[in-house]
Amino acid sequence: MKGILIFGELKDGQVTSVTLELIATGKKLSRTLDQPLELVLIGENLEKAAERIANFGVDRVLKVQGQAHAELHPERLVSILNQVCEKTDPKIILFGQTDMGRDVAPRLAAKLEASVCADCVYLAYNQEKKELIQAKPVYGGNALAQWNTADDRPHVVTMRPRSEKPAEPEPSKKGNIQSIPIEIDEGQIRSQLRETVHERDKGINLDEAKIIVAGGGGVGGSEGFGLIQELADALGAAVGTTRVPSDENWMPKSLEIGQTGHMVSPNLYIAVGISGAPQHLAGCSNSKTIVAINKDPEAPIFDMADFGIVGDYREVLPALIEKLKRLRE
């Protein structure tokens, strides 16, 4: 058992932000342990992404190329990663808590008889005690648990997106790039992926947005989101929601921010009609500046906000939109 292996993810051929965050975490572990940092990329046309990642201070980038491997297919990925781990025998395997990571990590851990900690926000290695320290929010974010795990087995960890700053390039230290051929026994893959549908919403991608205007249950219905959208347009912002608008089908589920949705950290987060349940705050508490607009002065969201207006959003938002338009001119 040696080294740290990161499961790298691409989206439309681009290295995802979560992957860069994992590299940052991996580099810290690699320094403490004085062991190599490796990253595995699975899919097709990986050359460009591998070149890019090799510039971020990773010792080795492993490419597992194949057309079929490009599918977002957890069972297939488990099988590939199991083989990669047999070849490289890593001590710590890092995933993002993503669509694939959260599914693949526990299965791989079970196969490897590795310990597993999901949705961590902090990860470190205690060299003296030879223990891995893992912290994660529990009880919907009401509490934070920290575990220590002894070193007699591999560790699988998934990291919550946005819990670490993305790694910076280190062009002076270029990593190796290597292909590893992996053969999959197709007979062993029992689930067949029939389709993957990305319901891209119009407008700005939540995960990349610098400004987000989010609406919660207090918005009261889908009509209210017209005003939210108008404010977002005035700011060049993305629109997000909490669980209520998503469950009630006021807005597409793909816009949900929080424990069961997107994890975001924009420069400015405007929370409209959001009470501030821990499960939602989990997804936005790393935002640089938070503004809360809510009728209820006792709403917990005000404890998490930098600026707050107690008032009816139907009255506040039109005035805010008007003012912003004037400022822009």
Partner 1 sequence: MNIIVCVKQIQDPEIPAIKFRLDAEGKKVVPPEGIPPVINPYDEQAVELAIRIKEQHGGQITILAIGDDSTSSVVKHALAMGADKGILLKDPAFEGSDSFGTAYILSRAIQKIEEFDLVLCGRQAADWDEGLVGSILAENLGLPLITLVESVDLIEGRWHVKRVILDGYQVFAVPPPAVLTVSHELGPPRLPSGWGIITASKKEIPVWNAKFVEADTTQTGADASWKKLDSLSIPQRKRKCEKIEGEKPETAASLLAEKLRRAGVL
Q: In this chain, which of 18, 118, 227, 228 binds partner 1, going by CB under 8 A? A: 118
Q: In this chain, which of 199, 202, 226, 329 binds partner 1, going by CB under 8 A? A: 199
Q: Pick between residue 62 and residue 235 the one whose CB is nearest to partner 1.
A: 235
Q: What does the H/E/C string look like for 77-129?
A: HHHHHHHHHHHHCCCEEEEECCCCHHHHHHHHHHHHCCEEEEEECEEEEECCC
Q: Which residues contact 195 (CB under 8 A, 6 or more apart)?
A: none
Nearest to 260 by CA among 277, 240, 280, 245: 280
Nearest to 284 by CA among 258, 305, 260: 258
The least CB distance from residue 14 to partner 1, in Å, is 15
Does position 303 interact with partner 1 (CB under 8 A)? The reply is yes
Q: In this chain, which of 12, 67, 192, 226 binds partner 1, going by CB under 8 A? A: 192
Does position 102 interact with partner 1 (CB under 8 A)? The reply is yes
Does position 197 interact with partner 1 (CB under 8 A)? The reply is yes
Q: In this chain, which of 200, 202, 223, 226 binds partner 1, going by CB under 8 A? A: 200
Question: Which residues in 291-320 are b (16+ Cβ under 10 Å) and which e?
Answer: bbbbeeeebbbbebbeebbeeebeebbeeb
Contact region for partner 1 (CB under 8 A) — 14-22, 41-49, 191-199, 216-224? 191-199
**Binding positions for partner 1, 158-177, rule CB under 8 A:** none
The least CB distance from residue 124 to partner 1, in Å, is 12
Q: Pick between residue 62 and residue 116 the one whose CB is nearest to partner 1.
A: 116
Does position 311 interact with partner 1 (CB under 8 A)? The reply is yes
Tokens read off for 126: 């205690």
At residue 225's C-alpha, the angle toward residues 222 and 229, to 5°, is 145
The least CB distance from residue 166 to partner 1, in Å, is 18
Nearest to 266 by CA among 285, 292, 293, 280: 285
Does position 278 interact with partner 1 (CB under 8 A)? The reply is yes
Measured CA to CA, the distance from residue 224 to residue 210 in angstroms comes to 23
Does position 142 interact with partner 1 (CB under 8 A)? The reply is yes
Task: Identify any residues that bridge with 6 across adjacent strands, giving them in sequence order.
Answer: 39, 94
Measured CA to CA, the distance from residue 60 to residue 178 in angstroms comes to 7
Contact region for partner 1 (CB under 8 A) — 2-10, 24-32, 47-55, 313-321? 313-321
Q: In this chain, which of 181, 183, 187, 194 binds partner 1, going by CB under 8 A? A: 194
**Binding positions for partner 1, 210-269, rule CB under 8 A:** 211, 235, 243, 247, 253-254, 259-262, 267-268
Q: In this chain, which of 110, 130, 176, 221 binds partner 1, going by CB under 8 A? A: 110
The least CB distance from residue 49 to partner 1, in Å, is 20
Q: Pick between residue 6 and residue 316 the one whose CB is nearest to partner 1.
A: 316
Q: Pick between residue 64 and residue 290 the one whose CB is nearest to partner 1.
A: 290
Encoded one letter per residue, x for contact with partner 1 by CB under 8 A and - for no contact, window 32-71 reads ----------------------------------------
Q: In this chain, which of 14, 89, 145, 221 binds partner 1, going by CB under 8 A? A: 145
Long-range contacts of 199-207 (CB under 8 A, 24+ apart): 199/252, 199/254, 201/252, 201/254, 201/255, 203/232, 203/238, 203/239, 204/232, 204/236, 204/237, 204/238, 205/238, 206/238, 206/240, 206/255, 206/257, 206/262, 206/264, 207/17, 207/161, 207/262, 207/264
